[in-house]
Amino acid sequence: MRAAVVSSFGGPEAVEIVEVAVPEPGTRQVRIKVAAAGVNPVDAGVRAGVFGGAGQRLGLGWDVAGVVEAVGVASGWTVGDEVVALAYGTAKTLGTHADLVVVDADAVAAAPRSVDVAHAASLPLNALAAAQALDRLGLEPGQNLLITGAAGAVGGYAVQLAARLGVSVTALAREGDEELVRSLGADRFVSDGVAPRSVDAVLDAAILGADALDWVRDGGAFVGVIPGAHPASVRGVGTSAVEVAADGARLAELVALVDEGVLTTRVAGTYALDEVVKAHARLAEGGLRGRLVLVP
């Protein structure tokens, strides 16, 4: 079967399609026939060597939508189930950018019924990251949250989820994105920041770091999206970063919100698996409003 991997670090051209053995599911695992798989910035990071792993062949891809093809003992799933899942890890030998992938059964959820497989594949990593970041912030209804990069994949889900919680959302994005982020539930739009110490919390999906921290009131909260890269605490502001965790139960809740029309999935474009280099090149150009998705 085919899989997208990197054996040496570099730009989009470092990604190659190779033939690998069909993976077998172990206890409490399932094998999924990939119907669609999201291409995320973390894949570009793996490709570029940001997370290390020199001298290894690294598989790419975290998001997957597809059909259960084989099950291990005590998986709880059945062959033929339509599912979505998160295949966590920056140093895995096989990711979701492949014809088949094996994942832990507790990372899997039934696929949404209301969207196609490409849109379903845009959900796991980014929606889980947004939900888990909001969990860290622990905001109450009526509190003020500034979301940077609010028009992006993580930021867009965060806007919708925070608005659903009754949090007052200020969305920081490019000037042309105001209509979009307001449609997602933002109460206020800004394109160049806010007054210092004027919000209760920041979810920094744009990775602005210390600049965004300055906008948080004393004793507020800051959550970034790159583990270990968040700024140090100042003025009593609690700072941390979300490291997304595979969580099938939470993913099922997010799927339900998609089917209820609460969460909007966005796909910026689709590519065949054999066009993965083109997908990485497009990702590198930036400016996407939604996820690129591989459709094997």
Q: Give per-residue pLDDT as tens, 61-81.
A: 999 999 999 999 999 999 999
Residue from 236, 237, 288 nearest 266 by CA: 288
Q: Where in the chain is the domain with CATH 3.90.180.10?
A: 2-123+266-294
Asked if residue 228 has pLDDT above 90, the reply is no
Asked if residue 296 has pLDDT above 90, the reply is no
User: Residues 6 or more apart from 20 whose CB is under 8 A from it?
Assistant: 1, 2, 3, 5, 94, 98
Q: In the CATH hierarchy, which fold is given to the domain comprising 2-123+266-294?
A: Quinone Oxidoreductase; Chain A, domain 1 (3.90.180)
Helices (H) and strands (E) in the chain, counts: 8, 16
pLDDT tier, 227 (very low <50, low <70, confident <90, very high otherwise) = confident
Q: Looking at the DSSP assignment, which residues form a beta bridge with residue 118?
A: none
Rounded mean pLDDT, 219-238: 92
User: Residues 6 or more apart from 260 whose CB is under 8 A from it?
Assistant: none
pLDDT tier, 55 (very low <50, low <70, confident <90, very high otherwise) = confident
CA-based radius of gyration for the chain: 19
Asked if residue 229 has pLDDT above 90, the reply is no
Stretch (H or E) spanning 29? strand 29-39
Burial state string for 91-116 with b = 16 or more CB within 10 A and e = fewer than 16 = ebebbbbbbbbbbbbbbbbbbbeebb
CA distance 292 to 33: 19
What pLDDT sits at residue 272? 98
pTM of the model: 0.96
Q: Where in the chain is the domain with CATH 3.40.50.720?
A: 126-241
Asked if residue 23 has pLDDT above 90, the reply is yes
Average pLDDT, the chain: 96
Tens digit of each residue's pLDDT (9 = 90 or more) over 197-226: 999 999 999 999 999 999 999 999 999 998
User: Residues 6 or more apart from 50 whose CB is under 8 A from it?
Assistant: none
Stretch (H or E) spanning 118? helix 117-121
φ, ψ of residue 285 to 5 degrees: the values are -70, -25
Q: What size, in residues, is the chain? A: 296
User: Residues 6 or more apart from 135 whose CB is under 8 A from it?
Assistant: none
The percent of residues in the chain predicted with pLDDT above 70, rounded, is 100
Asked if residue 288 has pLDDT above 90, the reply is no
Q: Tell me if 93 sits within 8 A of 59, measured CB to CB.
A: yes
CA distance 247 to 175: 35
Pairing verdict, β 168-172 and 144-148:
parallel
Asked if residue 179 has pLDDT above 90, the reply is yes
Sheet holding 188-190, edge to edge: 188-190, 168-172, 144-148, 199-204, 216-224, 238-241
3-state secondary structure of 198: coil
Homologous superfamily of the 126-241 domain (CATH): NAD(P)-binding Rossmann-like Domain (3.40.50.720)
Give, as one character, the DSSP assignment of residue 122.
Answer: T
